[in-house]
Amino acid sequence: MSKETDKSKGTFAFSKQNYIFLAAGVLVVIIGFLLMSGGKSDDPSVFNEEVFSARRITLAPIVVLLGYAFIVWAIMKKPGEKHEEAEK
């Protein structure tokens, strides 16, 4: 076996830092969905205007999209990127 296959055989696709960023992104998405929740009426025959609050219509979807973008960035980030730049 060559040295290249020996090196790549024992490494993971993600580093610890990637997993931390993934967890943070998932947490942001969960927070966004929690911001969307609520606004139901106690009486089904009465409409509650709280459903159309700015928090549920604007803020929560933006937070969720930012969380998903952060997750994609965490997946695409190369493990050890910081160390490679420092060595140059």
Determine the pLDDT at residue 41. Answer: 79
pLDDT digits (tens, 9 = 90+) for 16-32: 899 999 999 999 999 99
**pLDDT band at 6; cut points 50, 70, 90:** low
4 part of a folded domain: no
1 part of a folded domain: no
7 part of a folded domain: no
pLDDT digits (tens, 9 = 90+) for 53-83: 999 999 999 999 999 999 999 999 887 656 5
How many domains does the chain contain in total? Answer: 1
The larger pLDDT score, comparing residue 52 to residue 26, is at: 26
What one-character-per-residue DSSP string does 10-78 give? T--SS-HHHHHHHHHHHHHHHHHHHHH-----SSTTS--GGGG-HIIIIIHHHHHHHHHHHHHHHHHSP
9 part of a folded domain: no
56 part of a folded domain: yes
Determine the pLDDT at residue 46. Answer: 86
2 part of a folded domain: no
**Residues of the domain holding 52:** 15-87
5 part of a folded domain: no
80 part of a folded domain: yes
